[in-house]
């Protein structure tokens, strides 16, 4: 069925359920049981859980709603509309690492690859032993939440018809590298293998929050305020009682910001992501020595290999194969990725005629990547305008892991039949052509400036701890500073994970919202 004839889950929403800040002319002042800030993995899950429990819910989202029928596979257009700062954010430290985040309804789930991983056992153990979270966050407590989300969002392994050659090559050849390659499990129903998850799913197959929990919540009575940026959480008498937001316009006709005040009778759920949550708390007057500290990530890097036969990355699940065999021993996870030509082209070596010639080899390219469970910690502070300043430098041991993984990927690409590999590491030839050349990667300098790193898995910065002395958020998910101010994104994670974070974030958000819904604070005085 063509897009013109399909009805997508984000079409035909109840009248009045979406208030678009982009065209808002009158100030808003309304009251709900709960206000949820952010409509991504954490916010979408919290909202859907609260709505199902019978509460009135307002969701506030800074970005626009990019509807399925508007999805544009051109990277520049998509980045401008759906990514924060059009995809130009960075982590600043001893090198500059690009940072990607969605800024739209669905948050990063509109632009991500939908890979699902339950929180690993050793992370639960660590959180219990080292961080004292064992009375709240356990495998047993999260199990029903993971199971419910997996059922609702149709989690399953990539099917044959959407596998594609990039993913198949990895799964079939992993044994040659001495490890097990598996198909990813993803939130999707009817994936057509269009390999464009990064610019949004044109088929509404990927079960991002924009086509699942958000429209489901609106159909059950919730309302969403889009293009509405929360400036502060309003705290009165030590309790969160609402939010103050303002509309954000791109249309000059509506240049003036319009105030949006939403009162929360029962509490506010903050789910604006690890990067934005700390500065929202700061702007709202929350003070804590750990606020904005302990920021962690899984920085990654990718490497193309060129095969004699066509790989045709434009077909197949965007990310469909992986191994976690090195997660514990070496702190990294290997994955496949397909990139649109505009993005893949940024990794082509050479200039002029040489570059043009290599562009024609892109249909023969497979790209495999690593995500590093880095030990480095950084910080988040406010800076000019609406921006967040993230300081972060890779530790030496993180670079040892990055280099080892890069060599492993190059080796596996050759084992799988690649004729050329483009390492993208300064100091190593732009093109290597044999297994012998992989030694050049193994001997590469460990300076992070030499590597093409990128970050999209983010943690910490408002961590959970029993006492205010050790963290910002208590074991009841509410900040130590104010009651009823629940933080449910991965800023509360005391460590990173070593697996893709969305499922852990959603599991925790569902657990938190379920507990709060069962015993909410008494209605706040007007």
Ligand X SMILES: Cc1cc2nc3c(=O)[nH]c(=O)nc-3n(C[C@H](O)[C@H](O)[C@H](O)COP(=O)(O)OP(=O)(O)OC[C@H]3O[C@@H](n4cnc5c(N)ncnc54)[C@H](O)[C@@H]3O)c2cc1C
Question: Residue 322 Cβ, how far from ligand SF4 at the closest point, in Å?
Answer: 15
**Hey, what are 67's tokens?**
């509807």
Q: Is 43 a residue that touches ligand X (CB under 6 A)?
A: yes
- 38 makes contact with ligand X (CB under 6 A): yes
Contact predicate 96/450, CB 8 Å: no
With beta carbons less than 8 A apart as the criterion, state whether 88 and 96 touch.
Answer: no
Q: Residue 1 Cβ, how far from ligand X at the closest point, in Å?
A: 26
276 binds ligand X (CB under 6 A): yes
Q: With CB under 6 A as the contact rule, which of the stretches 19-27, 201-209, 240-248, 400-408 interacts with ligand SF4?
A: 201-209
Token pair for 310: 């066509």
Q: Which of 19, 32, 55, 61 binds ligand X (CB under 6 A)?
A: 61
- Candidate residues 89, 95, 112, 196; the one interacting with ligand X per rule CB under 6 A: 112
User: What CA–CA distance (Å, rounded) separates 92 from 394?
Assistant: 10
Query: Closest Cα partner for 81 from 100, 61, 97, 66?
Result: 66
Listed ranges 100-108, 153-161, 375-383, 476-484: which one lies at the site for ligand X (CB under 6 A): 100-108
Q: What would the DSSP string read from start to end of 401-443? A: HHHHHHHHHHHHHHHTT-SEE---BTTS-S-B-SGGGHHHHHT
* Angstrom distance (rounded) from CA 363 to CA 166: 11
Q: What's the min distance (Å) between Cβ of 288 and ligand SF4?
A: 39
Any contact of residue 114 with ligand X (CB under 6 A)? yes
Of 291 and 410, the one with the shorter C-beta distance to ligand X is: 291
Which residue, 192 or 283, has its beta carbon nearer to ligand X? 283
Distance of alpha carbon 21 from alpha carbon 247, whole angstroms: 5
Binding residue for ligand SF4, selected from 89, 112, 203, 212, defined by CB under 6 A: 203
Find which of ligand SF4, ligand X, none residue 317 binds, CB within 5 to 8 Å per kind. ligand SF4
405 binds ligand X (CB under 6 A): no
Q: How many of the chain's residues bind ligand X (CB under 6 A)?
A: 42
Site string for ligand SF4, 159-188 (x = CB under 6 A): -----------------------------x
Query: Looking at beta carbons only, is 49 or 166 nearer to ligand SF4?
Result: 166
Q: Does 206 sit near ligand SF4 (CB under 6 A)?
A: yes
**Contacting residue, 195, 241, 407, 506, with ligand SF4 by CB under 6 A:** 195
From the CB of 89, what's the least distance to ligand SF4, in Å?
Answer: 23
DSSP 467: S
Q: Are 524 and 264 in contact (CB under 8 A)?
A: yes
- Burial class of residue 113, CB neighbours in 10 A (0-12, 13-18, 19+): buried
The token pair at 237 is 């008498």
Binding residue for ligand SF4 (CB under 6 A) from 273, 318, 377, 450?
318
In the list 67, 128, 192, 375, the residue contacting ligand SF4 (rule: CB under 6 A) is 192
Q: Whats the size of the chain, residue-wise?
A: 526
Placement of tokens 């490497």 in the chain: 303
Distances from the Cα of 478 to the Cαs of 238, 378, 472, in angstroms?
A: 12, 23, 9
Residue 193, binding choice from ligand SF4, ligand X, none, Cβ under 5 to 8 Å by partner class: ligand SF4
- What angle (nearest 5°) sits at the alpha carbon of residue 400, between those of residues 397 and 403? 150
- Of 209 and 348, nearer to ligand SF4 (C-beta) is 209
18 touches 226 (CB < 8 A):
yes
CB 299 within 8 A of CB 100: no
Contact 479/516 with Cβ under 8 angstroms? no
Residue 239 is encoded by which pair of tokens?
């309790």
Distance CA 16, CA 180 (A): 50
Q: Which residue is nearest to ligand X (CB)?
A: 40
272 near ligand X, rule: CB under 6 A: yes
Nearest distance, CB of residue 104 and ligand X, angstroms: 6
What residues from 479 to 508 belong to the interface with ligand X (CB under 6 A)? 489-490, 500-503, 505
Tell me: does residue 41 bind ligand X (CB under 6 A): yes
Looking only at the bridges linking them, the beta strands covering 223-226 and 18-20 are parallel
Contact status: 334 vs ligand SF4 (CB under 6 A): no
What residues line the site for ligand X (CB under 6 A)?
A: 37-43, 60-63, 100-104, 107-109, 111-115, 198, 229-230, 271-273, 276, 280, 319, 456-457, 489-490, 500-503, 505
Residue ranges that bind ligand SF4, judged by CB under 6 A? 188, 191-197, 201, 203, 205-206, 317-318
């Amino acid at each position: 069925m063509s897009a013109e004839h399909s009805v997508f889950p984000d079409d035909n929403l109840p009248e009045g359920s979406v208030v678009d800040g982009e065209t808002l002319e009158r100030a808003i002042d309304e009251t709900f049981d709960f206000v949820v800030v952010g409509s991504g993995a954490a916010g979408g899950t919290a909202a859907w859980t609260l709505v199902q429990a019978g509460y009135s819910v307002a969701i506030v989202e800074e970005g626009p709603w990019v509807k399925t029928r508007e999805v544009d596979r051109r990277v520049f257009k998509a980045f401008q509309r759906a990514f924060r700062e059009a995809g130009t954010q960075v982590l600043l430290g001893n090198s500059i690492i690009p940072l990607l985040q969605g800024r739209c309804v669905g948050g990063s789930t509109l632009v991500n690859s939908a890979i699902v991983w339950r929180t690993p056992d050793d992370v639960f153990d660590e959180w219990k032993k080292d961080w004292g979270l064992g009375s709240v966050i356990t495998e047993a407590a999260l199990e029903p939440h993971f199971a419910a989300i997996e059922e609702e969002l149709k989690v399953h392994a990539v099917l044959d018809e959407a596998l594609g050659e990039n993913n198949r090559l990895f799964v079939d050849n992993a044994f040659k590298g001495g490890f097990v390659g598996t198909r990813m499990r993803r939130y999707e129903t009817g994936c057509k293998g269009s390999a464009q998850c990064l610019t949004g799913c044109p088929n509404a197959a990927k079960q991002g929050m924009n086509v699942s929990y958000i429209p489901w919540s609106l159909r059950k009575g919730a309302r969403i305020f889009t293009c509405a940026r929360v400036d502060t959480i309003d705290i009165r008498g030590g309790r969160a009682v609402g939010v103050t937001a303002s509309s954000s316009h791109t249309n000059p006709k509506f240049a003036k910001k319009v105030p949006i005040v939403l009162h929360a009778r029962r509490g506010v759920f903050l789910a604006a992501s690890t990067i934005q949550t700390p500065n929202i708390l700061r702007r709202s007057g929350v003070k804590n020595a750990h606020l904005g500290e302990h920021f962690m990530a899984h920085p990654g890097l990718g490497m193309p290999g060129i095969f004699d036969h066509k790989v045709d990355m434009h077909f197949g699940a965007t990310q469909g194969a992986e191994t976690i065999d090195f997660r514990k021993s070496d702190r990294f996870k290997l994955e496949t990725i397909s990139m649109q030509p505009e993005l893949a082209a940024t990794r082509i070596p050479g200039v002029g005629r040489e570059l043009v010639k290599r562009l024609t080899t892109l249909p023969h390219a497979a790209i495999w990547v690593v995500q590093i469970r880095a030990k480095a910690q950084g910080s988040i502070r406010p800076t000019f305008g609406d921006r967040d300043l993230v300081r972060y430098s890779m530790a030496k041991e993180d670079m040892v892991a990055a280099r080892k993984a890069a060599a492993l990927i190059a080796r596996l690409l050759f084992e799988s039949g690649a004729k050329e590999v483009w390492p993208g590491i300064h100091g190593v030839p732009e093109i290597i052509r044999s297994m012998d050349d992989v030694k050049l990667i193994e001997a590469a300098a460990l300076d992070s400036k030499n590597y093409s790193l990128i970050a999209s898995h983010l943690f910490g910065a408002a961590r959970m701890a029993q006492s205010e002395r050790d963290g910002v958020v208590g074991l009841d998910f509410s900040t130590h500073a104010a009651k009823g101010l629940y933080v449910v994104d991965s800023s509360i994670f005391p460590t990173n994970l070593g697996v893709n974070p969305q499922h852990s974030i959603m599991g925790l958000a569902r657990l938190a919202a379920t507990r709060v819904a069962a015993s909410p604070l008494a209605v706040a005085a007007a």
